[in-house]
Chain A
Amino acid sequence: MKKKINIKDNYALLLVSLLVIVLAVFTILKPDTLWKVSTWKSMASQFPEYGVMTLGVMLCFIAGCIDVSFVSLGNFASIIASLFMLQAAEGTIPEGQTGLIVILAILIAMVVGGISGYLNGNLISRLGIPPILATLSTQLVFRGLAIALTQGYAVTGIPPIYSEVGHMDIFGFLPVPLLVFIIVLLFVAFLLKYTTFGKKLYMIGSNPKAARFSGINVTKMINTTFVINGMIAAIGALLMVSTMNSAKADYGSSYLMRCILILVLAGVLPDGGMGKIFNVLIAIVTIQIIATSVNMFPELNSYYGSLISAIMLIVMLMITSRLLSTDRKVRRKKKNLPKEAG
């Protein structure tokens, strides 16, 4: 039996041990506050906002497209939905119809997100603009539209039922944002594991030319991916609206870097073709635990969280590049050896 160092199999192990280390460190430092139910509950309602968005962007990364427009796109969608709710609430509505309007608003947000995603996708697939440039410019366009619609102010006065639902616990323990996250997680996991769409996505990411020659409609695939990504980004932004009880063009501006950080940490590189949803889940939880734990120290501000995650990212990159390069060397050596029979 030959022993093989396969970085892709070991990566999940590496991530889990990282999570264990992080947990151990903060357990030693703050044993009584970290293991409180309320701490974990607040975490459970915080990470879905960007966790959901991360899952959407993950699909784009697997297809080999980086997306930097998703936060602005989501905010744009949620602002339109909030403005709709305000307009609808102006005419006094009977008690029973508020729920209907909220549901309509959510649908509107998702449609706007989908259309905006379709725009992103077409710029990349049909016009051939490199993904980073296409989404950089649409980021400005979406944010610009959001600012122009709201004149830079937050949209307030959303029906109270909306954020009430957002703060509700289902069965007394499951916060609604977490439920939304789980649904999106299951959806993305199903898409990647059990559908031909998922298989094609990996193929496009690892070799677009080969994918095209084997009969995959790359244009359509990329468009669909970005539509899904846009809808998921809208869901994430809707969660933010329920937390803040308002919508604004620059909410969640730190999420852009955080989501990309999580994906890279999870081994989902924008080069495409790689990415496991389990790793992404572990990375999301790790980052959230760091952010929450840093908050427990009164002398540290939240920037320590980004400091720690940045160092972690760089160290992980160094470790994995080392492993990959030794892997490459081993392979090269093998090629030079004379071929053995059998």
Chain B
Amino acid sequence: MEAKQKLRRFTRRTEFYIFLVLVVMGIVIQSMSGGQLFEVNSIVDIARAMTIMGMFALMNLMVVISGGFDLSFPTLASLAYSAATTICLTQGWAQESAWIAFLLSGAIGLVLGMVNGFIISRFKLNTMIVTLGTQTLFLGISMGLLQLSEITSTLPLGIRYFGEASLFEVYSSTGMRSTMPVAFVFFIVLAVIVWFVLKYTMFGRALYAIGGNEISAERAGFNVKKTKFWLYAIVGLVAGLIGMLRVAMVRQAIPKGLNGWDLEVIPAVILGGASIYGGEGSVFGTIVAVTLITVISNSLLLIGIDSYWQDFFNGLVILAGVTISAVQAKRRSI
């Protein structure tokens, strides 16, 4: 009986529909591409492509659950990694191991995240507008004030080695080689941490409570100000680390390299069943949604669609997803 109830509750959630869409799309693409999607190397490629986006999505999931938005993370992360890489380059650091680059990038990210957190928690402003402002601010700092330049071939060796390290290699039946980057482990670890924090810690409870109703959360004894401040600070810290991870993976540090990611990652989080009004959202849904988007954009070429149509199809998928969740929400409210 209880299992039946649980199942029914699960089928009413948005995550379930997104998961169904993912399965259907997988089967369709598999048959249309002549079995190329479920080749081992194709799966590894998808895992590789979704690593960074998935990590950013997990951090944004926490923000969305708390009822906020963080549009500033792309420029925050790119400012952090560009500055960190430039410092390493001029000081001659990170030649053997990359830890100092990660430390620097994370520290810069933490400071920038604290700026976000301070403004949002102290002045009780609309998070979307504040982070829109800080997004422009961080871009202005990196491209105007510091005039950070693109670092490609001169990337410190330690970072380069870190990016080239792989867990394993697989070959497809036609002999194509794909490597699983070490970064994927970090993705899994981050997912487990976020899941644990949201489910079993006071901080996670506070996020859900604040997202559900801020005033009730305050009355229930949660320190809303402090929670919000540390939320944005931690998001900044982790965004700095993720940014450096991306530098290692793509072997270049471009100050504008993440522009526009906010407009792709946040819809992915919502697609995964998180409520735009806060108080709802799960790690499972977010990962399924990111997988769906990555599978679709990776597979268009496989089924013979011009890559120029990629944005269009991504848009359609996201549109379908938000429509499903809006209709679901409407049905629940009636």
**Number of inter-chain CB pairs below 8 Å:** 143
Q: How far is the CA of A132 from the CA of B134 in the complex (A)?
A: 19
Enumerate chain B residues within 8 angstroms of A138, measured Cβ to Cβ: 315, 319
A147 touches B132 (CB 8 A): no
CB of A127 within 8 A of chain B? yes
Contacts of B264 in A (CB 8 A): 140
Contact present for A144 and B263 (CB under 8 Å):
no
CA of A212 to CA of B319, assembled, Å: 26
Rounded to whole Å, the gap between the CB of B108 and the closest CB of chain A is 17
Interface string of A307-340 (1 = CB under 8 A from B): 1111101100110011001000000000000000
B141 neighbours in A (Cβ, 8 Å): 307
Most B CB atoms within 10 A — which of A127, A300, A309, A310?
Answer: A310
A31 contacts partner chain B, Cβ-Cβ < 8 Å: no
Question: Is A148 a contact partner of B136 (Cβ separation < 8 A)?
Answer: no
Give the residues from 262 to 321 in chain A that come closer than 8 angstroms, CB to CB, to chain B: 264, 269-271, 300-304, 306-311, 313-314, 317-318, 321
A257-B135, A321-B125 known; A140-B140 Cβ under 8 A: no
9 other A-B residue contacts (CB within 8 Å) besides A261-B133, A304-B140: A128-B330, A137-B267, A137-B315, A140-B263, A270-B126, A301-B144, A303-B140, A303-B144, A307-B139
A133-B276, A144-B311 in contact; A303/B143 too (CB < 8 A)? yes
Question: Which B residues are closer than 8 A to A by beta carbons?
Answer: 119, 123-126, 128-130, 132-137, 139-141, 143-145, 147, 263-264, 266-267, 270, 276-277, 306, 308-316, 318-319, 322-323, 326-327, 329-330
- Residues of A with C-beta under 8 A to B318: 136-137, 140
User: 27 A–B contact pairs at CB < 8 A?
Assistant: A127-B327, A130-B277, A133-B270, A134-B319, A137-B267, A138-B315, A140-B311, A140-B314, A140-B315, A144-B310, A144-B315, A147-B311, A148-B312, A257-B132, A301-B147, A303-B140, A303-B144, A304-B140, A306-B139, A307-B145, A308-B140, A310-B133, A310-B137, A311-B137, A314-B119, A317-B133, A321-B123
Minimal beta-carbon separation of A329 from chain B (angstroms): 13
Q: B134, B310, B326: which has the most chain A beta carbons within 10 Å?
A: B326
Residue numbers in A under 8 Å from B329 (CB-CB):
128
Contact size class for A?
Answer: 35 or more
Q: Say whether B263 contacts A68, CB under 8 Å.
A: yes
Which 9 A-B pairs have CB atoms at the shortest separation, nearest pair first?
A: A307-B140, A144-B312, A140-B315, A144-B311, A303-B144, A141-B315, A310-B136, A310-B137, A303-B143
B276 touching A325, Cβ below 8 Å: no
Residues of A within 8 A of B312 (CB): 140-141, 144-145, 147-148
- Chain B residues with CB under 8 Å of A142's CB are 315
Chain B residues lying within 8 Å of A147, measured Cβ to Cβ, are 308-309, 311-312
Q: A128-B326, A144-B311 are in contact. Are A321 and B124 (CB under 8 A)?
A: yes
In the assembled complex, the CB of B258 is this many whole angstroms from the nearest CB of chain A, namely 14
Instruction: Give the docked Cα–Cα distance between A123 and B323 (Å).
Output: 8
- Does A143 belong to the interface (CB within 8 Å)? yes
Cα-based distance from A123 to B266 in the complex (angstroms): 18
Q: Is A139 in the interface zone, CB < 8 Å from B?
A: yes
Chain A residue nearest in CB terms to B313 = A144
Q: Do A143 and B311 have beta carbons less than 8 Å apart?
A: yes
By a CB distance below 8 angstroms, the chain B residues around A264 are 129, 132-133
Contacts of A129 in B (CB 8 A): 322-323, 326
Shortest Cβ distance from residue A124 to the other chain B in the assembled complex, whole angstroms: 9
